[in-house]
A and B are shown apart, each in its own frame.
Chain A
Amino acid sequence: MVKLIAGVVGIVFCLALLWGAVAPRTAETPDPVAKYHLAPRDVSWQNDNPGGLAVFGTFDRAQLQRGYQVYKEICSGCHSLKRVAFRNLTDLGFSAAQVKALAKQSDVASIDDKTGEPNTRKGIPADKIPGPYANEAAARAANNNALPPDLSLITKAREDGPRYVFSLLTGFGKPVPADWKVPDGLYYNPYFRSLNIAMPPPLSADGQVTYADGTKSTVQQNAKDVAAFLTWTAEPTLEARRRTGIGVVAFLVILTILGYLSYQRVWADLKRRKPEMLPAE
C-alpha cells in the first residue's frame, strides 16, 4: 500500500516536471551586459604569497601606508571607512604618536558638554575614521543621487575583491562599444556589473598622489596600493589568522600521523593473535 501511494505520488510529480520541461517557454532575453562585462584583471599582492596560495603571505606595510594615503587624499572625498578606527592604523606600521597626529587632523561629531548642542572635536585614536557625509541623504545629494558605498568591507563584498577594486580603478576610459549607451552623468567601465558607473574616474593621471617613500606614483600603482589597503580594512586579522593556522595545521598533521600509528597498532594486536579477525581494509 505504501508502495502504491508512493508510486502514484511519484508519477504525479514526474508528470508535473515533465510538463514543465516540454511546455513551450518564452526565450530568455540575452543579458546585454554579459557581452562587454570583463572579469577582474590578474594582479597579485604580497599577501597572496606563495604563488597565489595565500598561505604565508603578509601585508606589505609600506604598500598599506601608501594605500592609506591614496584613500585619504582621493577616495575619502566621497567614501567612508566607518569600520576602521584610527587606532587600527598601528597595524600599518604607524607609531602610536603618528596615529595620534593622524586622528587629530579629523573633526569628529560630538556634543558640547555644557550646552548639549552638537559640535565637533579633534579626533582621538579610539575614534572610527569619520566619513565625508553626515548621512545617506547628504551623500546622495552630493553625488547625483548615487550612494558611494562604505569601503571597509568592499574587498570581501565583491567577487575576487582586491582584483575587482584594482580593475575598476584602472578600467575607466575604455572605448564605449557602438551599440552601448552611457547615460549622462555615468561613466563606462567594463569591470562594473552594469557597465555604467556613477563614480567619475578617481585616478585620472599619474602623480595625483606624492608618495613619501619615493615609489613612482602611477595610476596602476595608486590602484594597486589602495586595493592592498582595502584588503587590510576588510580583513585586518588576516596575518594573525594565517599565523595561527600554520601552527594549528602543523599540530594537527602531527596528531593525525600519531593517530594513524596508534590505530594501526591497536588493530595489529588483534591481527597477530587471531588471524581470522583482520579488519576489512
Chain B
Amino acid sequence: MSFPWARHYEPTHPFMKYVDSRLPIPRLVYDSLGGGYPVPKNLNYFYNFGVLAGVALVVQILTGVILGMHYAANTTIAFDSVEHIMRDVNGGWMLRYMHATGASFFFVVVYIHIFRGLFYGSFKPPREVLWLLGLVIFLLMMATAFMGYVLVWGQMSFWGATVITNLFSAIPLVGETIHTWLLGGFAPDNATLNRFFSLHYLLPFIILGVVILHVWALHIPGSNNPTGIDVKSPADTVPFHPYYTAKDFFGLCVYLTLFSIVVFFLPNMLGEPDNYIPANPLSTPALIVPEWYFWPFYAILRAFTQDFLFIPAKLWGVLAMFSAILLLFFLPWLDTSPVRSNSYRPLNRQFFWIFVVDVLVLAYCGGQHAGEPWLRLSQICSIYYFAHFLIITPLVSRIEKPLPLPNSISEAVLKKHTNTGAPIALQPKGAGIAELPASGQPAE
C-alpha cells in the first residue's frame, strides 16, 4: 500500500503511543487521508468529486435517519406523514428538502465522478476493481433512490413504482411470478411500501460498506491523475494533508453553497408537481416520468418499439436498460489502450465527447413524452450508446495512435506551467504504465 516514500505515523505523546499500540485509528487516518498518503500533485478539480460523493452520502444518511423518526410507512398515512414533517416537525421542511435535493446532488456528483474516470482512464489496470466497486455503489444508489422516491406515496411515486416494477414481468416464463414476489401483491400497495422503506433504510449502510472497500481499493495503487501516467518519484506527489485536504475543503464549500441555494430557494425545481398529489391507483398521470437521474436509462428502455428476433419490444427495452449499466463492468477489458488519459488519445477523445452529448440528449428525451421526435432521437442516441462501448471503444483502442506521453507527472506539470513549448522527449514504448499488461494485451 502506498509509495515507499510515504511518511509514517509516529506518535510522540505517551497517550497516542498507548492508543497506537492498541487500536491504531489515528495511524489509519494519517496513512489514508493525512500526511502519510502521497497523491499525484497534478489532480484537477474533477478529482474533488470523490470526496463530495462521500459527503453527499453522509448528508443523505443523517437527514434520512431523522426523517425516518417522523415518517410512517403505511399507504393510508405515508403522504400525510410527509406533509406532517413539512408543516409540524421542527425544521422538518429543511430535512426533507435536504434529503430530496441531496439525492439529486448525489447523482450529479457521482455522474461527474464517473465521467472523470472515463476521461482519464481511471478504470484501467491497476484500478479495475476500484472501478467495479464504484459501479456496485452506483447500482445500489439507483435502487435506493428509486425506493426512496416511492416512500412519498404521491402520484409519481405510485405510478413510477408501477412502471418500474412492471419491467420484471417482461422476463419470459417467470416474469409475472417475480413481479408479484417483489411487490408482495399484484400492484404496489402497503406490502410494497413497507418493504421499500425497510430496504431504503438498509441499502445506504451497504453503500457505506462498499464505499469503504472502494476507498481501500483506491489506496492500493493510489489516485490516477490527469496525465494518466504512473507516479514515478517523490517529486510527482504531495502528501494528502494539507494539500488535498485544503483543496477538497474549498471544493466542499462550493458544493455546499450550490446545494444550499437549491435547498432554500428552489427546493421543488427537480421534483414533479404530480408528486404533491396523494397516490391514486384509479387515476393515471398524463406523463409518467422517473426522477431526472434515471432519464438516460428510461429513454433507452422506451427506445425499443419493435419486436425483433422473436423477442418482444418490452423485453428488448428491459434487457437494453440493464445492459446499458452492466456493460460498464466490462469496460476495463473493452478499452485496452495502454494510454489511460484521453488527453493523449486524440481519436478516443472525440468519441468521448460525442458520448457525453449523446447521454445528455438521451437524458432530455427520457424526460419527454414517448412520441416524435423524442422517440426516434432516443433510438439514434441509444444506438450510439451501445456502439460507443461495445464496438467503437474496442476498435479505437486497437487502431489509435496515441500522442507521446510525458516522462513524468512533474515534467507534464512544468511544461504546462511554464508553457515554453519545449518538446517533450518521446517515451519508450509502453513506458508510463509499467504494470499495464494485467489486461493480457501487450502495450502497443
- Whether B386 contacts A13 by the Cβ 8 Å rule is yes
Residues on A with C-beta less than 8 A from B387 are 10, 14
Q: Which of B18-26, B86-94, B110-118, B348-356 contacts A (4 or more CB under 8 A)?
A: B86-94
- Whether B308 contacts A249 by the Cβ 8 Å rule is no
CB distance from A197 to the nearest CB of B (A): 15
Residues on B with C-beta less than 8 A from A18 are 379, 383
Q: Which of A38-46, A200-208, A223-231, A234-242 contacts B (4 or more CB under 8 A)?
A: A234-242
Residues on B with C-beta less than 8 A from A270 are 41, 238, 243
Partner of A241 from B94, B246, B372, B382 at Cβ < 8 Å:
B94
> Is B42 in the interface zone, CB < 8 Å from A?
yes
- Whether B253 contacts A277 by the Cβ 8 Å rule is no
Interface size range of chain A in the complex: 35 or more
> Is A161 in the interface zone, CB < 8 Å from B?
yes
> Is B226 in the interface zone, CB < 8 Å from A?
yes
Q: Which of B57-65, B122-130, B264-272 contacts A (4 or more CB under 8 A)?
A: B264-272
Residues on A with C-beta less than 8 A from B304 are 16-17, 20
Bound together, the chains give a CA A83 to CA B84 distance in angstroms of 8
> Is A179 in the interface zone, CB < 8 Å from B?
no
> Is A35 in the interface zone, CB < 8 Å from B?
no
> Is B292 in the interface zone, CB < 8 Å from A?
no
CB distance from A49 to the nearest CB of B (A): 13
Q: Closest chain B residue to A153 by CB distance?
A: B276
- Whether A276 contacts B83 by the Cβ 8 Å rule is no
Residues on A with C-beta less than 8 A from B45 are 281
Q: Which of A72-80, A93-101, A114-122, A254-262 contacts B (4 or more CB under 8 A)?
A: A254-262
Residues on A with C-beta less than 8 A from B416 are 280
> Is B320 in the interface zone, CB < 8 Å from A?
yes
Residues on A with C-beta less than 8 A from B69 are none
Residues on A with C-beta less than 8 A from B379 are 17-18, 20-21
Q: Which residues of A (100-132) have their CB < 8 Å from a CB of B?
A: none
Majority SS of interface residues in chain B?
Answer: helix
Q: Which residues of B (374-418) have their CB < 8 Å from a CB of A?
A: 376, 379-380, 382-383, 386-387, 389-391, 394, 410, 412-414, 416-417
Q: Closest chain A residue to B87 by CB distance?
A: A236
> Is B1 in the interface zone, CB < 8 Å from A?
no
Bound together, the chains give a CA A187 to CA B82 distance in angstroms of 34
Partner of A280 from B226, B243, B308, B320 at Cβ < 8 Å:
B226
CB distance from B321 to the nearest CB of A (A): 11
Residues on A with C-beta less than 8 A from B333 are 2-3
> Is A23 in the interface zone, CB < 8 Å from B?
yes
- Whether B390 contacts A6 by the Cβ 8 Å rule is yes
- Whether B94 contacts A276 by the Cβ 8 Å rule is no
Bound together, the chains give a CA A263 to CA B194 distance in angstroms of 47
Per-position 1/0 for A238-276, Cβ under 8 A of B: 001110111011001101100110110111001000001
- Whether A259 contacts B253 by the Cβ 8 Å rule is yes
Per-position 1/0 for B302-335, Cβ under 8 A of A: 0111101100010010001001000100100110
CB distance from B238 to the nearest CB of A (A): 7
Residues on B with C-beta less than 8 A from A19 are 306, 308
CB distance from A90 to the nearest CB of B (A): 14
CB distance from A65 to the nearest CB of B (A): 20
> Is B257 in the interface zone, CB < 8 Å from A?
yes
B interface residues, tally (CB under 8 Å): 72
Per-position 1/0 for B339-382, Cβ under 8 A of A: 00000000000000000000000000000000110001001101
- Whether B334 contacts A241 by the Cβ 8 Å rule is no
- Whether A248 contacts B254 by the Cβ 8 Å rule is no
Per-position 1/0 for A178-221, Cβ under 8 A of B: 00000000000000010000000000000000000000000000
Residues on B with C-beta less than 8 A from A25 are 305
Residues on B with C-beta less than 8 A from A158 are 273
Residues on B with C-beta less than 8 A from A7 are 390-391, 394
- Whether B261 contacts A157 by the Cβ 8 Å rule is no
Partner of B417 from A153, A245, A278 at Cβ < 8 Å:
A278
CB distance from B398 to the nearest CB of A (A): 8
> Is A168 in the interface zone, CB < 8 Å from B?
no
> Is A54 in the interface zone, CB < 8 Å from B?
yes
Bound together, the chains give a CA A248 to CA B257 distance in angstroms of 8
Partner of A6 from B238, B273, B389 at Cβ < 8 Å:
B389
> Is B431 in the interface zone, CB < 8 Å from A?
no
Residues on A with C-beta less than 8 A from B434 are none
Please name 29 pairs of A and B residues whose Cβ atoms are closer than 8 Å in the assembled complex, sorted by A. Answer: A9-B323, A9-B327, A9-B390, A10-B386, A10-B389, A13-B323, A15-B308, A16-B320, A17-B304, A17-B382, A54-B265, A149-B277, A157-B276, A159-B273, A241-B93, A244-B94, A244-B264, A245-B261, A249-B260, A249-B261, A259-B246, A259-B249, A260-B250, A263-B247, A265-B246, A266-B243, A267-B243, A276-B413, A281-B45
Task: Taking A83-B80, A157-B277, A262-B250 as given, write out 7 further A-B residue pairs in contact, using a Cβ cutoff of 8 Å, ordered by the A residue number.
Answer: A13-B390, A17-B379, A21-B379, A158-B273, A260-B253, A278-B413, A279-B42
